[in-house]
Amino acid sequence: MTMFNVTEIRQNASKIITQAIESKEPIVLLQRSKPVAYIIEARAFEEMREKAKKAERYEKEEMAKETLQRLASLRKQMKPQPDSTPLIRQLREGDSRHE
């Protein structure tokens, strides 16, 4: 990976950009000997963004699958409850057998 400081970028921006495009390798921009930015080819940047989006979608899908599996597991552990509709109907109609 090639590195240039800010002064070199100012003086040779066109050459450095051309180098990034032709080599398809990122160029590190240094400020006070520390990396502060990268210059990369536009297509490489777009591919990285698309891969990041796909990874994020995949992660969300996996989380959703895990959540559904946990819900299914909890449902299996629950005891079946009787249907309360007949009891409610009887209470509403005033049937005194359940009082």
Residues 14/6/25/58 CA torsion (nearest 10 deg): -120
Pairwise CA distance, residues 82 & 84, whole Å: 6
Output the tens digit of pLDDT for each of the chain's 99 residues.
899 998 998 999 999 999 999 999 999 999 999 999 999 999 999 999 999 999 999 999 999 999 999 898 888 887 777 788 887 888 888 765 544
Q: Is the pTM of this model over 0.85?
A: no
* CA-closest candidate to residue 19, choices 4, 34, 37: 4
Q: What is the pLDDT of residue 87?
A: 79
Contact 31, 5 (CB under 8 A): yes
Q: What is the pLDDT of residue 95?
A: 60
